[in-house]
Amino acid sequence: MHGYTEANHNKTENVNVHLWKKTASILFFKTPTVWAMLVFPNNWAMMENVSSIFRLAGLTFTLEYRYILFSLTLLCYLLILLTNITVICVIIMNENLHEPMYIFLCNLCINALFGTVGFYPKFLYDLLSDHHVISYLGCLVQAFLIYSSALCEFSTLTVMAVDRYLAICRPLEYHSKMTSNTVIKCIMFSWVSPFLCMLFAIVLTSTLTLCGTNIDKLYCDNWSVVKLSCYPTTVNNVFGYIVIIVYFIHSLFIMCSYIQLVGASIKSKEERNRFMQTCMPHLLSLLNVSVALLFDGMFTRYGTKNFSQDLQNFLALEFLVIPPILNPLIYGLKLKKIRNQLM
């Protein structure tokens, strides 16, 4: 009897040890999200989001057009890589192009490569896949890459406007003001401020509890994720409007600079030629990216289902296709020093 009791006790103990090991393996190894929820009990919503899979509902093409779209997209991406890398290499390899204007142009092309890498590889994969999905973390990373690049382009165009203003309106002060240290500070400004804006926006989004997984676009953007929130998103809205206002001020600053540039350039034929050669590409780039981002931003926030999906996709893709291709082409063809190096 005593032996039977001891056997039962050992069996019970073995079962308990087995259950404990199984529970531990689940908590620590098989479901790290559960373990994170235990360690951070106040961030359950964020931990639940990490396991979410978003469906990108913008891809509505039929199977027969899949390979055509893939070929065109791949061709477009290769053209973006070719044109931007060519301009970057030409500027880096030629010492006579190591001037502020060309350094800022090089920065603009590097930013184009940075932004497009967040979209094209994933989009090309989706074109060949039957399931158009993206993970929660992947979605936030994609939104960060694409929109920090868009803001960086605005910042770079602002810096280029300052450079042209000093070169044309204050030529005697240009070399004393636009020093190497100033150029480095301008480049840091064009990258750091967009990064911080988007990083803070993404962090705010990551704290939201989501009640949906459907994104009506070809790619992830921050506002599309915010709209899936179960609760009011006042803080996200306020910060979003602050960012819009800040970069609208960037645009106003650029326009004011160019009003003065036009006034200074009409005084002589030489100044007019200089304005047309160095400033017109910049204005075309500014107009291009401004219109594209305006359409994308307004449609994302206030869009309506009355528009066809094809039109929605066009508005969403315009600033990811046109500026990265046109910027190096416009500058490469218009700026004489670059054109001479390419010939």
**What does the pLDDT read at residue 184?**
93
pLDDT < 50 positions in the chain: 2-5, 7, 9, 11-13, 15-47
Question: Using CA atoms, how far apart are residues 111 and 105, in angstroms rounded to an integer?
Answer: 10
**What pLDDT, in 10s, does the model give residues 87-98?**
999 999 988 888
Question: Using CA atoms, how far apart are residues 44 and 162, in angstroms rounded to an integer?
Answer: 47
Nearest by Cα to 164 from 267, 281, 57, 8: 281
State the pTM of this model. 0.78
Question: Using CA atoms, how far apart are residues 275 and 207, in angstroms rounded to an integer?
Answer: 48
**What does the pLDDT read at residue 278?**
62
**What does the pLDDT read at residue 254?**
81
Nearest by Cα to 80 from 333, 285, 319, 325: 325
Nearest by Cα to 27 from 42, 38, 43, 41: 38
DSSP string, 174-193: HHHHS-HHHHHHHHHHHHHH
For residue 110 the two structure tokens come to: 């590097």
**What pLDDT, in 10s, does the model give residues 47-77?**
455 557 888 877 766 566 788 889 999 999 9
Cβ neighbours of residue 90 under 8 Å, at least 6 residues apart? 97, 338, 341, 342
